[in-house]
Structure 1
Protein backbone atom coordinates (compact mmCIF):
# COMPACT_ATOMS: atom_id res chain seq x y z
CA UNK A 1 0.00 0.00 0.00
CA UNK A 2 1.30 3.43 -0.93
CA UNK A 3 0.14 6.72 0.58
CA UNK A 4 0.80 10.07 -1.08
CA UNK A 5 -0.15 13.41 0.45
CA UNK A 6 -0.16 16.59 -1.62
CA UNK A 7 0.21 19.82 0.33
CA UNK A 8 -2.25 22.63 -0.29
CA UNK A 9 0.46 24.79 -1.88
CA UNK A 10 1.52 21.99 -4.26
CA UNK A 11 -2.12 21.23 -5.15
CA UNK A 12 -2.73 24.90 -6.02
CA UNK A 13 0.34 24.99 -8.30
CA UNK A 14 -0.67 21.72 -9.99
CA UNK A 15 -4.25 22.90 -10.51
CA UNK A 16 -3.00 26.25 -11.91
CA UNK A 17 -0.89 24.41 -14.51
CA UNK A 18 -3.65 21.92 -15.26
CA UNK A 19 -6.29 24.57 -15.89
CA UNK A 20 -9.48 23.15 -17.32
CA UNK A 21 -7.77 20.36 -19.26
CA UNK A 22 -9.03 16.83 -18.68
CA UNK A 23 -5.68 15.27 -17.76
CA UNK A 24 -4.37 12.98 -15.02
CA UNK A 25 -1.38 13.72 -12.78
CA UNK A 26 1.36 11.09 -13.06
CA UNK A 27 4.46 10.49 -10.96
CA UNK A 28 7.29 9.37 -13.22
CA UNK A 29 10.42 7.65 -12.06
CA UNK A 30 13.06 7.53 -14.75
CA UNK A 31 15.63 4.94 -13.70
CA UNK A 32 19.08 5.26 -15.19
CA UNK A 33 19.72 1.96 -16.98
CA UNK A 34 19.91 -0.98 -14.56
CA UNK A 35 20.82 1.08 -11.51
CA UNK A 36 18.54 1.84 -8.58
CA UNK A 37 19.08 5.58 -8.94
CA UNK A 38 16.59 7.67 -10.82
CA UNK A 39 14.79 10.99 -10.87
CA UNK A 40 11.13 11.38 -9.88
CA UNK A 41 9.13 13.94 -11.85
CA UNK A 42 5.50 14.90 -12.30
CA UNK A 43 3.68 15.08 -15.60
CA UNK A 44 0.17 15.24 -17.00
CA UNK A 45 -1.22 12.58 -19.28
CA UNK A 46 -4.47 12.12 -21.16
CA UNK A 47 -7.23 10.37 -19.30
CA UNK A 48 -7.71 6.91 -20.73
CA UNK A 49 -8.07 3.36 -19.62
CA UNK A 50 -5.23 2.43 -17.33
CA UNK A 51 -2.61 0.16 -18.77
CA UNK A 52 -1.68 -3.02 -16.92
CA UNK A 53 1.44 -1.54 -15.30
CA UNK A 54 -0.29 1.54 -13.86
CA UNK A 55 -1.76 2.11 -10.44
CA UNK A 56 -4.03 4.99 -9.43
CA UNK A 57 -3.26 6.25 -5.93
CA UNK A 58 -5.98 8.33 -4.28
CA UNK A 59 -4.29 11.25 -2.54
CA UNK A 60 -5.87 13.86 -0.29
CA UNK A 61 -6.19 16.23 -3.29
CA UNK A 62 -6.36 14.33 -6.61
CA UNK A 63 -5.68 10.90 -8.10
CA UNK A 64 -2.04 10.18 -8.93
CA UNK A 65 -0.95 7.63 -11.54
CA UNK A 66 2.20 5.60 -10.80
CA UNK A 67 3.71 2.77 -12.81
CA UNK A 68 3.58 -0.41 -10.69
CA UNK A 69 7.07 -1.41 -11.84
CA UNK A 70 8.48 1.82 -10.32
CA UNK A 71 7.05 1.25 -6.83
CA UNK A 72 10.27 -0.48 -5.74
CA UNK A 73 12.08 2.86 -6.07
CA UNK A 74 9.53 4.78 -3.96
CA UNK A 75 8.64 4.83 -0.28
CA UNK A 76 5.26 3.68 1.00
CA UNK A 77 4.51 7.10 2.55
CA UNK A 78 5.38 10.20 0.51
CA UNK A 79 4.50 13.88 0.32
CA UNK A 80 4.48 16.24 -2.66
CA UNK A 81 5.12 19.86 -1.67
CA UNK A 82 6.03 23.07 -3.49
CA UNK A 83 9.00 25.27 -2.60
CA UNK A 84 8.55 29.01 -3.19
CA UNK A 85 12.30 29.41 -2.78
CA UNK A 86 13.29 27.11 -5.67
CA UNK A 87 9.96 27.29 -7.56
CA UNK A 88 9.94 23.50 -7.81
CA UNK A 89 8.05 20.59 -6.34
CA UNK A 90 9.55 18.35 -3.69
CA UNK A 91 8.96 14.64 -3.17
CA UNK A 92 9.80 13.54 0.35
CA UNK A 93 9.19 10.65 2.69
CA UNK A 94 9.82 10.25 6.42
CA UNK A 95 13.11 8.54 5.45
CA UNK A 96 14.52 10.83 2.78
CA UNK A 97 14.16 13.53 0.16
CA UNK A 98 13.43 11.63 -3.05
CA UNK A 99 13.68 14.79 -5.18
CA UNK A 100 14.08 18.26 -3.67
CA UNK A 101 13.71 19.98 -7.04
CA UNK A 102 11.09 17.96 -8.89
CA UNK A 103 9.76 19.21 -12.21
CA UNK A 104 6.18 19.23 -13.44
CA UNK A 105 6.54 18.39 -17.11
CA UNK A 106 3.70 19.70 -19.22
Structure 2
Protein backbone atom coordinates (compact mmCIF):
# COMPACT_ATOMS: atom_id res chain seq x y z
CA UNK A 1 0.00 0.00 0.00
CA UNK A 2 1.25 3.49 -0.87
CA UNK A 3 -0.18 6.52 0.91
CA UNK A 4 0.33 10.07 -0.31
CA UNK A 5 -0.13 12.69 2.41
CA UNK A 6 -0.83 16.17 1.07
CA UNK A 7 0.97 19.19 2.49
CA UNK A 8 -2.28 20.44 4.02
CA UNK A 9 -2.90 17.10 5.77
CA UNK A 10 0.72 16.89 6.91
CA UNK A 11 0.46 20.33 8.55
CA UNK A 12 -2.67 19.22 10.47
CA UNK A 13 -1.09 15.91 11.50
CA UNK A 14 2.04 17.74 12.69
CA UNK A 15 -0.12 19.83 15.06
CA UNK A 16 -1.27 16.59 16.73
CA UNK A 17 2.08 14.80 16.91
CA UNK A 18 3.40 15.08 20.44
CA UNK A 19 6.43 12.85 20.13
CA UNK A 20 8.50 11.74 17.20
CA UNK A 21 7.79 8.14 18.24
CA UNK A 22 4.05 8.52 17.57
CA UNK A 23 2.68 6.64 14.59
CA UNK A 24 -0.48 6.92 12.56
CA UNK A 25 -2.68 3.89 12.11
CA UNK A 26 -5.18 3.77 9.27
CA UNK A 27 -8.01 1.60 10.53
CA UNK A 28 -11.13 0.34 8.81
CA UNK A 29 -13.57 0.45 11.71
CA UNK A 30 -16.50 -1.96 11.33
CA UNK A 31 -17.70 -1.90 14.94
CA UNK A 32 -21.40 -1.03 15.07
CA UNK A 33 -21.67 -0.89 11.26
CA UNK A 34 -23.69 -4.09 10.85
CA UNK A 35 -21.25 -6.11 8.75
CA UNK A 36 -17.57 -6.29 7.85
CA UNK A 37 -18.00 -4.66 4.43
CA UNK A 38 -19.66 -1.58 5.92
CA UNK A 39 -16.86 0.25 7.64
CA UNK A 40 -15.49 3.71 8.29
CA UNK A 41 -11.82 4.58 7.64
CA UNK A 42 -10.34 6.27 10.71
CA UNK A 43 -6.88 7.57 11.59
CA UNK A 44 -5.49 6.84 15.03
CA UNK A 45 -2.49 8.58 16.55
CA UNK A 46 -0.79 5.94 18.69
CA UNK A 47 2.45 5.35 20.53
CA UNK A 48 3.19 2.10 18.69
CA UNK A 49 1.85 -0.07 15.91
CA UNK A 50 -0.08 -3.28 16.52
CA UNK A 51 1.88 -6.54 16.22
CA UNK A 52 0.21 -7.73 12.98
CA UNK A 53 0.17 -4.32 11.27
CA UNK A 54 2.18 -3.52 8.16
CA UNK A 55 3.85 -0.20 7.47
CA UNK A 56 2.58 1.59 4.37
CA UNK A 57 4.97 3.18 1.93
CA UNK A 58 4.52 6.92 2.15
CA UNK A 59 5.67 10.15 0.52
CA UNK A 60 6.43 11.81 3.89
CA UNK A 61 8.51 10.97 6.94
CA UNK A 62 5.63 9.69 9.07
CA UNK A 63 5.07 6.05 9.87
CA UNK A 64 1.58 4.94 8.85
CA UNK A 65 0.48 1.42 9.74
CA UNK A 66 -2.54 -0.63 8.72
CA UNK A 67 -4.04 -4.05 9.28
CA UNK A 68 -3.36 -6.11 6.12
CA UNK A 69 -6.85 -7.63 6.36
CA UNK A 70 -8.34 -4.16 5.79
CA UNK A 71 -6.39 -3.48 2.60
CA UNK A 72 -9.14 -5.04 0.46
CA UNK A 73 -11.50 -2.27 1.61
CA UNK A 74 -8.94 0.53 1.21
CA UNK A 75 -6.94 -0.21 -1.95
CA UNK A 76 -3.32 -0.01 -3.07
CA UNK A 77 -2.94 3.75 -3.63
CA UNK A 78 -4.44 6.20 -1.17
CA UNK A 79 -4.26 9.92 -0.50
CA UNK A 80 -4.81 11.50 2.89
CA UNK A 81 -5.90 15.10 2.45
CA UNK A 82 -7.33 17.78 4.72
CA UNK A 83 -10.31 19.97 3.86
CA UNK A 84 -9.98 23.36 5.51
CA UNK A 85 -13.57 24.16 4.60
CA UNK A 86 -14.93 21.04 6.39
CA UNK A 87 -12.08 21.02 8.96
CA UNK A 88 -11.59 17.28 8.51
CA UNK A 89 -9.32 14.71 6.93
CA UNK A 90 -10.29 12.95 3.73
CA UNK A 91 -9.27 9.55 2.36
CA UNK A 92 -9.17 9.20 -1.41
CA UNK A 93 -8.19 6.68 -4.07
CA UNK A 94 -7.43 7.63 -7.68
CA UNK A 95 -11.05 6.70 -8.49
CA UNK A 96 -13.15 7.82 -5.53
CA UNK A 97 -13.40 9.47 -2.13
CA UNK A 98 -13.55 6.71 0.48
CA UNK A 99 -14.18 9.08 3.37
CA UNK A 100 -14.94 12.79 2.96
CA UNK A 101 -14.86 13.27 6.77
CA UNK A 102 -12.22 11.00 8.29
CA UNK A 103 -11.50 11.43 11.98
CA UNK A 104 -8.07 11.54 13.61
CA UNK A 105 -8.36 10.02 17.07
CA UNK A 106 -5.60 10.45 19.62
CA UNK A 107 -5.30 7.33 21.76
TM-score (norm 2): 0.87
Alignment partner, residue 100 of structure 1:
100
Alignment partner, residue 19 of structure 1:
18
Count of matched residue pairs: 103
- Matched position secondary structure for 2:40: strand
Distance 2:18 2:7 in 1: 16
- Matched position secondary structure for 1:42: strand
Any residues of structure 2 matched to 1:55-70 within 5 Å, and which? 55-61=54-60, 62-70=62-70
- Matched position secondary structure for 1:100: strand
Unaligned segments of structure 2, at least 5 residues: none
Decide which structure has greater strand share.
1
Provide the alpha-carbon RMSD of the alignment: 1.5
Q: Deviations over 1:46-82 (max 9, x none)?
A: 126x512x10113111121101111111111110000
Distance 1:86 1:25 in 2: 21
TM-score (norm 1): 0.88
Alignment partner, residue 79 of structure 1:
79
- Matched position secondary structure for 1:91: strand
Alignment partner, residue 36 of structure 1:
37
